[in-house]
């Protein structure tokens, strides 16, 4: 397959990254992540049982147990289609840039730069909100532990922000100075996370003094918000199970550090959905059966911890399990920072950011893109500061990371369908008719969730109950527009495929 950047013809195939041949890329990231490691790193981002337990309070208050369990089944099926849609394009065009690279390749010459630039910024903002959500959850776990042993302790939001920032710094330092451990980190996470998952689940089930009824676990509808329309309550509550798959595209952005990414990345995407559903569903069912006092659990700082303490009747057990859970979250924080920085690095390499030559530089000693990591760190710090202004921003950040991610998935899917799904014929994954279904489901799901997840938690919200997702999205849009006006419209380039029709098949 022939690729041209300006006047320089370059060649690439589906087993290598398009941008490996980029005319102004020096040096490359080191390829040392195996297929098993990238599956582990992907699962550290989309960790089913951790994500469900961290955000279970949303589902409990917005629809109850049916939203948590049946909602997870539903969103998992949806995300199988999303993973297939992404996986096929990743197999055709492996690149750390992912969606914006595909948007550039699939677009016509007049729209290529504008569409790719839009998708690039959308994806970057999605990942910044993902990192912020993981770090916020980590900070809340620490304070929930404090409150367990000191119930009278009053948590101030500025305290949470300081711990948030400390975790953010630790993740930054790990990505800067511990790169040699990253290939093994994925394998470590697979075993460690599975061990903690099984230990907590088995202990709670074995020690719980009583168990909830089948009706409670499988059919207790609750409405803890002010909407009287049950459809709105349930759909907005789906943010809880959908959060399991926030960052589904993580493996895509690590492709240029992966061996044989055209095979490994699609495999990692599908495995992530499967294992995320399995662990999230089993863990949620177990926790719900072990609940002793639902009201006190939902009113607590971290319902997950409260349910463990109730089931085991031991604060010490809760502290031990939460400490291990915090390690899981820290690994996730490291992984999402890594994926975010690689996406920013790739975007800068295509001159999407000011001072791109400096931003896209790989440090010769650390072998990592230092400035993209610092940009990721700074963006997450700003989002963390918003948490100090309002606790409802937390839910808004979670909604934004999913909405923005889905939008970045859908634009290339629409482009691909408009082209009759013609793409690199040498790709490893060829879905055929199933590809149409995957692309269509991706687009429909994006439209549906973008509308519904911007709803506030009450029909007539005051400042404290507003859904700030709209505000966050508008500000992000203005930042991207400013970059385009001042820099992008003159300097941004993206991967091009000349005579693309002759190289693609139906």
Taking residues 442-468, report their average pLDDT. Answer: 82
The DSSP code for 181 is G
d(CA 51, CA 149): 24
d(CA 120, CA 125): 9
Q: For the CA atoms of 263, 269, 275, 281, what is the dihedral angle to 10 degrees?
A: -160
Structure confidence at residue 120 (pLDDT): 94
Where are the domains positioned within the chain?
2-202+216-281+317-503
d(CA 61, CA 51): 16
The answer to whether residues 237 and 62 touch, using CB atoms and an 8 Å cutoff, is: yes
pLDDT in tens, 423-454: 888 888 899 899 999 999 999 999 998 988 88
Which residue(s) pair with 505 in the sheet? 423
pLDDT in tens, 364-394: 888 888 999 999 999 999 888 877 776 666 6
CATH topology for 2-202+216-281+317-503 is: Amino acid/polyamine transporter I (1.20.1740)
Q: What is the CA radius of gyration of the chain?
A: 22
Structure confidence at residue 340 (pLDDT): 92
pLDDT of residue 26 exceeding 50: no
End-to-end CA distance of the chain: 16
pLDDT in tens, 228-241: 787 888 888 888 78
- Give the H/E segment covering residue 8: strand 8-11
- DSSP state letters, 224-261: -SS---HHHHHHHHTHHHHGGGTTTTHHHHTGGGBSSH
Burial class (CB in 10 A: 0-12, 13-18, 19+), 475: middle
Q: Which of 280, 231, 223 is nearest to 448 (CA)?
A: 231
Which phi-psi region, left, alpha or beta, contains residue 256 (left: φ > 0; alpha: ψ -120 to 50)? alpha
Which residue(s) pair with 62 in the sheet? 223
Q: Which of 172-176, 418-422, 452-456 has the lowest mean pLDDT?
A: 452-456
pLDDT of residue 396 exceeding 80: no
Burial class (CB in 10 A: 0-12, 13-18, 19+), 170: middle
């Amino acid at each position: 397959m022939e690729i041209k950047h300006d006047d320089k013809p370059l060649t690439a195939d589906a087993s290598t990254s398009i941008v490996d041949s980029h005319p102004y890329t020096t040096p490359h990231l080191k390829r040392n992540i195996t297929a098993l490691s990238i599956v582990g790193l992907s699962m550290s981002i989309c960790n089913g049982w951790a994500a469900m337990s961290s955000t279970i309070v949303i589902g409990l208050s917005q629809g109850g147990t049916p939203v948590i369990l049946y909602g997870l089944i539903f969103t998992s099926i949806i995300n199988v289609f999303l993973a297939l849609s992404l996986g096929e394009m990743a197999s055709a065009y492996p690149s750390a840039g992912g969606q914006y690279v595909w948007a550039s390749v699939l677009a016509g010459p007049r729209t290529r730069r504008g569409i790719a630039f839009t998708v690039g910024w959308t994806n970057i903002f999605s990942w910044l909100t993902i990192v912020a959500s993981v770090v916020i959850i980590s900070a809340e776990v620490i304070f929930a532990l404090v409150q367990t042993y000191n119930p009278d302790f009053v948590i101030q939001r500025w305290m949470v922000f300081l711990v948030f920032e400390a975790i953010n710094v630790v993740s930054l330092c790990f990505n800067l100075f511990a790169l040699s451990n990253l290939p093994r980190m994925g394998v470590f996470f697979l075993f460690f996370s599975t061990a903690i998952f099984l230990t907590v689940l088995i202990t709670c089930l074995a020690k719980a003094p009583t168990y909830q009824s089948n009706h409670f676990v499988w059919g207790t509808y609750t409405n803890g918000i002010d909407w009287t329309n049950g459809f709105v309550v349930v759909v907005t509550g789906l943010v809880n199970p959908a959060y399991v798959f926030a960052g589904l595209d993580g493996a895509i952005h690590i492709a240029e550090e992966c061996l044989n990414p055209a095979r490994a990345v699609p495999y990692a995407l599908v495995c992530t959905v499967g294992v995320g559903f399995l662990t999230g569903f089993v863990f949620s069912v177990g926790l719900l059966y072990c609940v002793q006092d639902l009201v006190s659990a939902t009113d607590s700082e971290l319902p997950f911890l409260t349910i463990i303490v109730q089931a085991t009747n031991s604060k010490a057990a809760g502290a031990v399990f939460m400490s291990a859970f915090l390690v899981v979250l820290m690994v996730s924080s490291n992984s999402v920072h890594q994926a975010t920085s690689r996406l920013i690095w790739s975007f800068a390499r295509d001159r999407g950011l000011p001072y791109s030559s400096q931003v896209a530089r790989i440090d010769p000693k650390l072998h990592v893109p230092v400035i993209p990591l610092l940009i990721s760190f700074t963006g997450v710090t700003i989002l963390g500061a918003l948490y100090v202004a309002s606790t409802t921003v937390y839910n808004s950040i979670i909604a934004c990371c999913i909405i923005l991610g889905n939008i970045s998935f859908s634009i290339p899917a629409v482009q691909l369908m408009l082209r009759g799904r013609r793409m690199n014929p040498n790709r490893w994954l060829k879905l055929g008719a199933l590809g149409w279904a995957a692309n269509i489901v991706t687009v429909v799901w994006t439209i549906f969730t973008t509308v519904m997840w911007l709803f506030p938690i009450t029909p007539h919200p005051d400042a404290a109950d507003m859904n700030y997702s709209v505000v966050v999205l508008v500000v992000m849009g203005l930042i991207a527009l400013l970059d385009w006006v001042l820099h992008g419209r003159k300097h941004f380039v993206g991967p091009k495929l000349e005579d693309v029709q002759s190289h693609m098949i139906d």
